[in-house]
Amino acid sequence: MQAVILAAGLGTRLRPVTDRRSKAMVPVVGTPLVELALAPMVECGIRDVVMVIGPDDDEIRNHFGARTEPGISLMWVTQERRLGMAHALAAAARHITGPFVLSACDSLVGASHVRELLAAARDADTVLSLLDVEPAAVSRSAAVEIDGSIVRRIVEKPRIGEAPSNTVSLPHYVFSPDVLPLLSHLSKSARGEYELQEAIQRQIDSGARVVGVRATDRVQVSTPEDLLELSRRRLREEKGFLTSSKAPSGTATKIIDPVHIEPGARIGRDCTIGPEVFLESGCAIGDGAEILKSIVLRGARVAGHQRVVDTVVAD
């Protein structure tokens, strides 16, 4: 089993966080999104990884070049033009040798759900990860018509009132390689992209067995607010993994756990940092500043005596 990770997105809705980096490299308490997306697949025993990235994303190459676990084979594929998930998958097709898991880097699920997808793939051509959502949210995703576990139809971003159900397909799949030849026969959608949902519908129409597995939860990181919520949750829940940083001696700065302060973050005198704060290396905090429940990213500066609460500071 291979894993294909789609990590070429610009992350327009995440700006200004993505003004200085790709969406894949947005840090969640120091760990890039793409690493969090890959982790459950590695935990499930997948060691052969194809990663689709944007042109000139040297940061992601350098990150994994320094940190890839032993025994993992990582193949890089560049999507020169961002024309949708099907287009990204087509770019990776020549490196796919058998069944594979496909996942976007900004949608996170746990290893238990990946195991459920892999188990369902033993008796299916394609497996979709499904989630029930509120009716108002259906038009932002791909809605499915489902009969038991069998997917009968999939509709990308249906208009309100035209969705076949309130169940949507998440960007996590298990495919057989039979889907790959279909990618060259797709047409551009109204938004100018090649949609993976069209290929899945072609599979359904040809008689392929397409099944769905319901996720109990997932985390979507599309906006700075999503990033802040996920970061604060990790700080609260993973105190044993994250480490606090002590303020420099003699500065009278107070650190309130849980926080994660990377080496290279500059903190002035008489500050209050925390709780639930992440300071990335390369940021600067002026004297007397107060940072609570917030993120300050590299290159950003908080002015002296400024109070920052529930905010992502990116510039």
Give the model's pLDDT for residue 251: 74
pLDDT of 135 higher than 90? no
Would you list the domain boundaries of the chain? 2-222, 225-313
Q: For 87-99, what is each residue's pLDDT tens digit?
A: 999 999 999 999 9
> Could you read off the pLDDT of 103-116 as tens digits, one per residue?
999 999 999 999 99
On average, the pLDDT of the chain sits at 90
Residue 241 pLDDT exceeds 50: no
Decide: 17 and 297 in contact? Cβ < 8 Å. Answer: yes
Q: Provide the CATH number for the domain formed by 225-313 in this structure.
A: 2.160.10
Query: If we measure between CA atoms, which residue out of 49, 266, 89 comes closest to residue 195?
Result: 89
CATH architecture of 2-222: Alpha-Beta Complex (3.90)
What percentage of the chain carries pLDDT values higher than 90?
71
